[in-house]
């Protein structure tokens, strides 16, 4: 039986990287007595996979992992058991049974929502953000940026990969909202969009000045984006 767990990551846990979060959850499963299934072989490992890695420094309300279990208690009991053994800064939000045909978390990711803001202690440049965003994002037909990976340099068109881009100004400080393509095919980091926006404005972009917060992940169903936590079903 496959289970999808949604969790949020906040506070000091944002400094714990993706690989360490995987190790963290493996130990959580044992502490919470989740009947997780193990692989075959001399050193069996837990059958567990994460939807989309979150960078060190980012927080999230919508992280997902899939596990395989041999048996399970109800969603509610399992959540209670998990949250009893969590570190401060990780909270399990849902525990749902996946259908046999549901794609694996990693393969199912199609898009991600982010909120980004300028951290305390960094100046927010004064400007008309709405107008700037119109000029940068909504008016052009294409926005070409280059993405440097370990192996190559790729040219991307942000118009195709950014599904939504909004800005709201609170107390003189902008809060950005982004919905971008995510997953194994066209994964777009929100920092890359911000860097391009800053460059367009002729400003230096300091990634350390921006807090990245992931709101949720989406899968695709019949050409529509569907929030990840609507997949699967509650276990009564």
Which positions touch another protein (CB under 8 A)?
Answer: 10-13, 15-17, 20, 23-24, 26-31, 38, 42-46, 56-57, 85, 87-89, 119, 121, 208, 211
Q: How far is the CB of 18 from another protein (least distance, A)?
A: 12
Please check whether residue 92 is in contact with residue 82, taking contact to mean a CB–CB distance below 8 angstroms. yes
Q: How far is the CB of 13 from another protein (least distance, A)?
A: 7
Q: Which is nearer to another protein, 44 or 125 (CB)?
A: 44
Q: How far is the CB of 28 from another protein (least distance, A)?
A: 6
What SS3 state is found at 10?
coil
What SS3 state is found at 49?
strand
Q: Which is nearer to another protein, 56 or 127 (CB)?
A: 56
Q: Tell me how crowded residue 77 is: count the other CB atoms within 10 A of its CB.
A: 12
Q: How far is the CB of 128 from another protein (least distance, A)?
A: 28
> Based on C-alpha coordinates, what's the Rg of the chain?
19
DSSP state of 100: T
Q: How far is the CB of 6 from another protein (least distance, A)?
A: 20
Interatomic CA distance for residues 199 and 202, integer angstroms: 5
Phi, psi of 55 (to 5 degrees): -65, 155
Q: Which is nearer to another protein, 50 or 137 (CB)?
A: 50
Give the list of residues 6+ apart from residue 225 with CB closer than 8 angstroms, or none.
110, 111, 163, 218, 219
Q: Which is nearer to another protein, 17 or 99 (CB)?
A: 17
Q: Which is nearer to another protein, 31 or 154 (CB)?
A: 31
């Amino acid at each position: 039986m496959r289970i999808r767990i949604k969790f949020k990551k906040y506070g000091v846990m944002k400094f714990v990287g993706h690989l360490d979060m995987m190790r963290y959850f493996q130990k959580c499963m044992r502490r919470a007595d989740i009947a997780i299934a193990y692989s075959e072989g001399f050193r069996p490992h837990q059958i567990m996979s994460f939807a989309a890695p979150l960078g060190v420094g980012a927080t999230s309300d919508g992280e997902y992992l899939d596990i395989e279990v041999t048996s399970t208690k109800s969603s509610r009991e399992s959540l209670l058991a998990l949250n009893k053994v969590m570190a401060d800064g990780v909270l399990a939000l849902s525990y749902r049974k996946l259908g046999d045909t549901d794609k694996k978390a990693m393969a199912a990711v199609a898009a991600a929502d982010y909120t980004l803001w300028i951290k305390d202690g960094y100046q927010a440049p004064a400007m008309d953000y709405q107008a700037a965003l119109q000029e940068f994002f909504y008016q052009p037909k294409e926005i070409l940026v280059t993405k440097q990976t370990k192996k190559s340099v790729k040219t991307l068109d942000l118009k195709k990969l950014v599904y939504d881009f909004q800005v709201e100004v609170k107390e003189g400080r902008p809060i950005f909202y982004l919905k971008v393509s995510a997953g194994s095919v066209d994964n777009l980091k929100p920092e890359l969009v911000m860097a391009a926006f800053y460059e367009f404005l002729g400003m230096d972009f300091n990634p350390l000045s921006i807090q990245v917060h992931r709101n949720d992940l989406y899968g695709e169903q019949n050409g529509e984006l569907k929030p990840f936590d609507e997949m699967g079903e509650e276990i009564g």
